[in-house]
Amino acid sequence: MSDRQVPSTIKDEALVSKRRNQMVKGAVTLFMEKGFHKTTTREIAKASGFSIGTLYEYIRKKEDVLFLVCDSIYQRVKVRMEDSIDPNQTSIDSLIDAIRSYFQLMDDMQNEVLVMYQEVKSLSRDAQEYVLQKEREMVSMLEQVIMNSLPEKRSEAEVKLIANNIFVQGQMWGFRRWILHRSFTIDTYADTQILLLMNGLNNKTQV
């Protein structure tokens, strides 16, 4: 499933893209304030700047809006990661740069990411699988950087665990911001998480 598979009665693809972008922006604000289930399609239409009738020219049901929100977020995250992370670089510095870029991205999009994880359970099974596949692709980007950057070869399982830890640490900045903001800026948070990661990689011990 992709955004192109959400039916629209409008044939002009540029107009569909424009209207759906308006819809996504309006919906994210409402979902943050009220949650998906308490938000009505009429409220989404108003926040998007058009009528309820116009809204239904671009979607079939409210769940389509949530899918478009999730898909838009992952597409933006993927593009930003691809722009800032070169998986072919082969140094520890490139791994550190990748982590910093990813954490900054999570800071820039923390509201959108929070909405997505809070509400993704309301999507259909197929739509949930599509969203999860997007996440797997992004974790794979981190895995590639890790494999290329670490001087000591690690097992596939260890690389996957390191990549998932980094991925979750980035998301944690948004999920736990109410407490983390008291002690860290995004820069000091990144510095501390990178220091802990590097210490762990440099002090590998038998358990």
pLDDT in tens, 11-27: 888 999 899 999 999 99
Give the pLDDT of residue 131: 82
Over residues 64-73, mean pLDDT:
88
**Which single residue is written with the structure tokens 């948070």?**
189
Calpha distance 34→194 (Å, rounded): 35
Report domain extents, the chain.
63-202
Give the pLDDT of residue 204: 59
Which of 75-89, 101-115, 129-143, 157-171 has maximum average pLDDT? 157-171
Share of the chain above pLDDT 70, in %: 95
Q: How far is CA 67 from the centre of its chain?
A: 13
Confidence of residue 164 (pLDDT cuts 50, 70, 90): very high
- Full-model pTM: 0.80
Domain 63-202, second-level architecture: Orthogonal Bundle (1.10)
Give the pLDDT of residue 151: 80
First to last CA, the chain: 43
Give the pLDDT of residue 46: 94
Over residues 54-59, mean pLDDT:
92
Share of the chain above pLDDT 90, in %: 42
E runs forming strands in the chain: none
- The one-character DSSP state at 3 is G
Confidence of residue 205 (pLDDT cuts 50, 70, 90): very low
Cα atoms in the Cβ-side hemisphere of radius 13 Å centred on 137: 13
